[in-house]
């Protein structure tokens, strides 16, 4: 009902990327998101925007769609506005790692927020993986969700030395077991000898993110939440109707009135929500995937099929895809994706991949693409209300599970008027000295800073 033909014109990434087909040579990868070659993204029926809804959801990624689905199931009248096409943002472009924990280490979290709040945030990170698993089962989404576990690998001895303490704290404080893997046993986990050891969490999972976001969209529409593509929110004003407070939304496809608004625009947050935009730093992340590897080679590189990332600030993350390609990602450029940053990233990432896996020296890289992450100034997820609008943002590269969870928690809050979401309880800082209007002029300096930090720490 919602499906287009395979590779249909519905996805703007495809439209943008095919522009470069002419420039392709035998050695250059296609500038195209590999995940999109594995799925038929749903195309919602063309219909006018509803005139009035209980909740307008902005953005059709994991945040927006999991919220829309949960709200529609509770009987709310919902509409999702998406400026491009379903799942166009980070949700279809990511590495598909469904990870436990937060971007910051537990010791830093405890010293910043105290034991109790950190305990609740860490529990939420575990609950978020369960939330993805539950949704996949309940909505019957064929997206290769598998609890393969994740492996963090140490780029320096000092990083490895910190693992034992982290495992001890997480076990004691959060009753959750991780395992330290010494250098001599690391061969059981990864076919690379450049690391000083690793740390494994068996509860993390892998997923095909484009199939997952596509399945969420189908489920949300099936539950009665229309998704309005090519409807870019342009501005919002407060406006009461029949004595009820609410908002007038103007979009590129017309207007509607909503009692409540949930903004789930992540790294793509723009001028329509200026106060939120000033709290978010959009940062580019890029991925390459190789040709399909022979089964034996794939097992040699990743014997347990882990979701792997390293211990640097300027980190690499990598995994096998379900069809045994090596997917290798990183912050090859700090700026969000453009034709130039994507092309540049292909070389940088291939170089990084061969450093980790010299065996892949002559393996063909078939795809390269990029997407935008959202970082808050304290590198934490945040949820709350700003100018009366609900929002959940700040996933910092940990959003597959957390955005799903936040969408559900926001739906619960809007529907029930109360929430126990710990991420609403932490302060959300703005830029130091307020020197930021949403245009991240400082990214080159930040990029250089983190590179230096990786040399010295």
Ligand X SMILES: Cc1cc2nc3c(=O)[nH]c(=O)nc-3n(C[C@H](O)[C@H](O)[C@H](O)COP(=O)(O)OP(=O)(O)OC[C@H]3O[C@@H](n4cnc5c(N)ncnc54)[C@H](O)[C@@H]3O)c2cc1C
Residues binding ligand X (CB under 6 A): 58-64, 81-84, 88-91, 93-97, 99, 232-233, 264-268, 270, 272, 285, 287, 329, 371-373, 395, 397-401, 403
Both structure tokens of 338: 């453009």
Q: How far is the CB of 168 from ligand X (least distance, A)?
A: 25
Say which DSSP state 50 is in.
P
How many helices (H) does the chain have, and how many strands (E)? 12, 19
Q: What is the largest CA-CA distance in the chain?
A: 70
Q: How far is the CB of 130 from ligand X (least distance, A)?
A: 15
Pick the closer one to ligand X by CB: 92 or 324. Answer: 92
- Residue 12 CB partners (closer than 8 Å, separation 6+): 84, 85, 88
Pick the closer one to ligand X by CB: 101 or 246. Answer: 101
Sheet holding 325-330, edge to edge: 30-31, 365-376, 280-292, 325-330, 316-320, 307-310, 150-153, 197-201, 179-182
Q: How far is the CB of 198 from ligand X (least distance, A)?
A: 17
What's the gap between Cα 13 and its chain centre?
16
Pick the closer one to ligand X by CB: 181 or 288. Answer: 288
Q: How far is the CB of 403 from ligand X (least distance, A)?
A: 4
CA 349/CA 245 separation, integer angstroms: 50
What's the gap between Cα 228 and its chain centre?
21
Q: How far is the CB of 396 from ligand X (least distance, A)?
A: 8
Say which DSSP state 257 is in.
E
Contact 251, 49 (CB under 8 A): yes
Based on its alpha-carbon atoms, the radius of gyration of the chain, rounded to whole angstroms, reads 21
Pick the closer one to ligand X by CB: 158 or 353. Answer: 353
3-state SS class at 83 = coil
DSSP string, 198-221: EEEETT-EE--HHHHHHHHHHHHH
Pick the closer one to ligand X by CB: 197 or 330. Answer: 330
Q: How far is the CB of 204 from ligand X (least distance, A)?
A: 9
Give the CB-nearest residue to ligand X. 399
Pick the closer one to ligand X by CB: 183 or 314. Answer: 314
Q: How far is the CB of 263 from ligand X (least distance, A)?
A: 8
Q: How far is the CB of 124 from ligand X (least distance, A)?
A: 14
What's the gap between Cα 26 and its chain centre?
31
Pick the closer one to ligand X by CB: 54 or 82. Answer: 82
What sign does the CA torsion over 73, 78, 81, 85 have? Answer: positive
End-to-end CA distance of the chain: 54
Pick the closer one to ligand X by CB: 105 or 362. Answer: 105
Pick the closer one to ligand X by CB: 275 or 452. Answer: 275
Q: How far is the CB of 266 from ligand X (least distance, A)?
A: 3
Contact 315, 331 (CB under 8 A): yes
């Amino acid at each position: 009902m919602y499906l287009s033909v395979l590779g249909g014109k519905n996805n703007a990434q495809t439209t943008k990327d095919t522009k470069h087909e002419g420039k392709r040579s035998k050695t250059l990868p296609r500038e195209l998101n590999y995940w999109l070659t594995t799925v038929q993204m749903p195309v919602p029926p063309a219909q006018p925007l509803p005139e009035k809804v209980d909740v307008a959801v902005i953005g059709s990624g994991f945040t927006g769609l999991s919220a829309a689905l949960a709200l529609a199931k509770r009987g709310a009248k919902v509409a999702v506005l998406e400026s491009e096409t379903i799942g166009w943002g980070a949700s279809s472009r990511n590495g598909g790692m469904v990870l436990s924990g937060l971007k910051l280490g537990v010791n830093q979290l405890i010293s910043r927020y105290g034991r109790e709040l950190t305990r609740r945030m860490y529990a939420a990170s575990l609950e978020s993986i369960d939330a993805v698993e539950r949704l996949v089962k309940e909505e019957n989404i064929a997206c290769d969700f598998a609890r393969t576990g994740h492996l963090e690998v140490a780029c320096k001895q000092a990083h490895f030395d910190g693992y034992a303490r982290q495992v001890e704290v997480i076990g004691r404080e959060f009753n959750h077991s991780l395992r330290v893997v010494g250098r001599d046993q690391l061969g059981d986990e990864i076919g690379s000898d450049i690391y000083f050891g690793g740390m494994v969490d068996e509860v993390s999972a892998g997923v095909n993110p484009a199939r997952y976001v596509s399945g969420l969209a189908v489920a949300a529409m099936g539950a009665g939440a229309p998704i309005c593509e090519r409807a870019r929110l342009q501005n919002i004003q407060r406006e009461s109707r029949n004595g009820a407070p609410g908002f007038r939304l103007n979009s590129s496809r017309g207007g509607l009135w909503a009692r409540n608004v949930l903004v789930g625009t992540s790294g793509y947050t723009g001028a329509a929500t200026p106060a939120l935009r000033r709290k978010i730093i959009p940062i580019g992340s890029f991925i390459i995937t190789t040709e399909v590897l022979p089964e034996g080679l794939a097992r040699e590189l990743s014997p347990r099929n882990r979701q792997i990332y390293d211990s640097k600030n300027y980190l690499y993350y990598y995994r096998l895809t379900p069809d045994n390609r090596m997917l290798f990602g990183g912050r090859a450029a700090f700026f969000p994706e453009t034709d130039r940053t994507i092309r540049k990233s292909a070389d940088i990432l291939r170089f990084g991949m061969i450093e980790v896996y010299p065996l892949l020296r002559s393996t063909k890289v078939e795809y390269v693409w990029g997407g935008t992450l959202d970082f808050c100034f304290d590198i934490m997820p945040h949820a709350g209300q700003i100018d009366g609008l609900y929002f959940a943002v700040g996933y910092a590269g940990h959003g597959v599970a957390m955005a799903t969870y936040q969408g559900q928690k926001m739906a619960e809050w809007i529907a029930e008027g109360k929430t126990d979401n710990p991420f609403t309880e932490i302060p959300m800082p703005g830029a130091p000295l307020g020197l930021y209007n949403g245009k991240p002029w400082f990214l080159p300096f930040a990029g250089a800073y983190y590179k230096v930090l990786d040399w010295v720490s």
